[in-house]
Structures are given as structure tokens and as C-alpha cells.
Amino acid sequence: MGEVIKINRDDVINGIAGKRPGKPKGGVIHNDAGAMSAEAYLPWLISRKNRGQLPLGFAGYYGDRTTMLRVDNTNNKEWHTANPEGNTWFLGYEVVQSYYGIISDKDFLLNEDMVLRQVAEDFHFYGLKPNRNTVMLHKQFSSTTCPHRSWDLHGKSVNSVKDYFISKIAHYMSLGKTVEEMLKKEGVSAPAPTVPNTVTPQPDGKTLVVGKQAKQWETGSNIPAFVIGQRYDVLASKPVSKSRSKKAYLIGKGKVATGWLLEQDVEGFKTAGGGNTDKATPTTKPAITGTTTQSESVAGVQMFLNRWFYGKLEVDNKMGQATKKALIKALQMELNKQFKAGLNEDGAWGPKTENACITVRPGARGDISRLIQATLICKGYKVGGFDGIFLEGLEKAVKEFQRKNGLKVDGIVGKATFAALFR
């Protein structure tokens, strides 16, 4: 069979949306409008769960041509359709890497086939027959273009797309009762992952803040309140002629797309000249060349805080009070999430925050280690990588910092070292 196809059933969501009151009525096909592989969704969803953000949406399955990921038991509901009927009675299947330009149509169809095999397995298990009542599209439950890429490839109408899926699912059901059996019967060899198309616009440091009363450009629906005023990465842009806008932006976090936004709905549009959001404004300053959230620089730290802790920082590569406050707030958020510290997430250092700090030793890994790296980077130290792994480079930087600040030089970050770093 060549490369091993991974079937991952971790059930990390653990029924957060509640139990289904009966067996599911069918499945809903989604396209993720993103660039992540199925495997990459696992840590992303765990992070979302830890931050209490799963109500923003999750499906039970994420699939590409080499991996089928299940994140919750099929007896549980999912928040995947923005509709009570869809969430309660239908299983959610996410075909990943559907953002145009990441992979070819040919490779996307391989991703789609893997997901449809999983649908076939579940239909066998629950005694469901693939038809227009059991095989559903996300857009049938809420105002969305999803599944946009499947829509474009399979006829651009509800029935034509559904009929394509129905025929595929029926075919796979005839081959076996599990994904493994189907693959064995087909003799399918999973192709090597495709290298992303380098001409596709990717997050490069350019960000924008969503303005008040913004609309989702493609659907015209109101953007959720939690999006308003937040800073997002610009994943792509394209010229349009809509109302007062000459551009539309695909916004998101990292490689996960949120949706398209017209430039008239970007905060600062008027000060940008009412039609040119490329002008240097507080929300659209040019990126610092080459900087990413992995960059060992103040700009890299600022981008990291913006992306994962909603820092709302200007990426200017300068360590100021706003960045310092965002670092403390991020630490408070992590201590609350991981250790239920009960701290006010206000970015102000005090005795409660200091007492809540744990002891972090070489060999540790995670967001707290990364925040230690971030703070040292902002103070001018080389930490050997901005990745959340407490290795030799970070230990050396901690010892140097301790030595310069009159602390016990042991390379271990305890309460006293945390206080000196963040205070």
C-alpha cells in the first residue's frame, strides 16, 4: 500500500457539545477554507478547547489524503453548522486544505475521497443509506459558501454536489465497512503530501482590525460580535468593485481562514483615504520583512501574542509598555488555563500572579516555556529558538539573566525569576 494512511481517533473534545438524543440522521460535508493538514488540526483544536473557544465551531472529523482525524465520539453533538438541527442530528466532516492555491484540485479531490470513505464507514455503522436526506451540505443549514471548493468542482448546485457525494459514498460502502477495508480493497497508496504553492499569498505579518458593523463579504451576513475589533492576519487579497471598496481580504489566524472582508469594513478605512487600505495606517503598516511568529525578535513575539493571545499589538519590533502588558496577560491566561489560578487577566503584575507561577525547568515544553522565551527575547537575549521547548539555548539565557539580576544562577525559572522577568 505504500505510505501508511493514518486513522487517528483521539476523541479529544470529550462531549463538550452534549450527547446526541439518538442516532444521527446523516452527515454534513464541509470545506475548511484553510491550509492546515488534518493532523495539524489536533493541536489547534486542543488549544481552542483549553481557551474555551470550541463554541466558535468544530466538526467531528477532519480529513486529507493521508490522514483521517476523528476528534470526538460520534455519539456526541458537534458545533459545526451554526444550526441546532445540524449540530444535534448530523455528523460533521471537514475536507481540509480547501483554501485555493494550497493544493491542486487533483489533490483536493483525494482529500475529499478520504473524507467520503469515512462517511461510508459511519453510514454502515448507523445503518444509514446515502441519499439527499442523509447527505447534506453546510450551506443547507446556515448562510455560508461552505463547501465552496467542492461546490465549484461538482456542479455548483445543491443537488448536483450532493448527488456526486451520494454516488461516491455508495461506491465506498460497497467496498467494505471500515476505511481500512475500503483502502485495502482499492489498493490505494496514499500520495506524498503536496508542497504548498509558493505563489499563494500566505500570512506575512500584514494584519488588520475588523471594524464595527462589518459584514461577511461573500454571504452578506453579520460578522459575529467576537470578531469585531479583533486583529487578524491577511491570508490573501483580491481586487473588487463593491460599494466603496477596491479590495477584499481573506482574514484568519495563522493558516485558518475566517472569511472575506471588504476593505470598507476594516478599522481605519476612512483615515486610509476611503478606498486605499494599503496606505500606512495603524492597522495596515507594512510588515517587517521576514518576520513570523517563530522569529526570535520582538516583532515575532508581538505577532505570536496577537495571534494566540489577542494582543492587539502594533508589530513595530519595539519593546514597550503595551507589549510588556500583553506578555503578563498571556502568562495569566496560561496559568488560569493550565492550573486554574483564578487570576484577573489584566496584564498587571502583582503578588497573586507571582504566587501562581510554577517552577519551569529545562526539558519543559509548552506555552509557558514559550512566554519565558518571549520575555527574554524582548529583553535582548538569544534563546536558541522561539518554539516553547526549554533546551540548552533557553537554559543558557536564563542563567545569564539570573546572573545579571542578582538571582540564584541555576537555569530554573521559579517565582523569583518569573517576577524579575515579567515585573
Q: What pLDDT, on a 0 to 100 scale, did the predictor assign at position 243?
A: 74
- Integer Cα distance of 186 and 184 in angstroms: 5
Categorize the per-residue pLDDT at 173 as very low, low, confident or very high, splitting at 50, 70 and 90.
very high
pLDDT (tens digit, 9 = 90+) per residue, 28-69? 999 987 778 888 888 888 888 888 888 888 999 999 998 899
From residue 276, give the alpha-carbon distance in Å to each of 41, 99, 129, 241, 272.
35, 25, 52, 12, 6
Range 18-21, long-range pairs (CB < 8 A, 24+ positions): 18/76, 18/77, 19/75, 19/76, 19/77, 20/75, 20/76, 20/77, 20/88, 20/89, 21/88
The residue among 48 and 417 whose pLDDT is bigger is 417
The better pLDDT of the pair 292, 392 is held by 392
What is the average pLDDT across 207-214? 78
* pLDDT at 27 exceeding the cut of 90: yes
pLDDT at 250 over 60: yes
Please provide the DSSP assignment of 345-359 as one string: -SS---HHHHHH---
| Predicted confidence band of residue 315 (pLDDT cuts 50, 70, 90) | confident
The 10s digit of each residue's pLDDT in 179-190 is 989 998 988 654
pLDDT at 270: 45
pLDDT of 189 reads 56
Alpha-carbon torsion angle 48, 9, 137, 64, nearest 10: 90
Domains with residue ranges and CATH for the chain = 6-186 (3.40.80.10), 201-285 (2.30.30), 298-422 (1.10.101.10)
Q: Which pLDDT belongs to residue 218? A: 57
Instruction: Give the pLDDT of residue 247.
Output: 79
DSSP 3-state of 156 = coil
Q: In whole angstroms, give the CA distance from residue 282 to residue 229.
A: 13
Residue 76, pLDDT > 70, answer yes
Those residues with Cβ within 8 angstroms of residue 123's Cβ, 6 or more apart along the chain or in another chain: 26, 27, 129, 130, 134, 169, 173
Calculate mean pLDDT across residues 7-25.
86
- Give dist(CA 311, CA 309) in Å, integer: 5
Cα distance between residue 325 and residue 310, in whole Å: 12
pLDDT at 274: 35
3-state helix, strand, coil split of the chain in percent (to 5) is 35, 15, 50
- % of the chain at pLDDT higher than 70: 81
Task: Tell me the chain's radius of gyration from C-alpha atoms.
Answer: 23
Please, what is the average pLDDT of the chain? 83
**Dihedral angle computed from the Cα positions of residues 359, 360, 364 and 366, in that order, rounded to the nearest 10 degrees:** 100
- Greater confidence (255 vs 55) lies with 55
Give 208's pLDDT tier (boundaries 50, 70, 90): confident
Residue 76 DSSP label: B
The contacts of residue 325 (CB under 8 Å, 6+ apart) are 347, 348
- Cβ atoms of 48 and 109 within 8 Å: the answer is no
For residue 151, pLDDT beyond 80: yes
How large a percentage of the chain has pLDDT more than 90?
Answer: 48
Pairing of strands 67-70, 6-9: parallel
Q: What is the mean pLDDT of residues 330-338?
A: 90
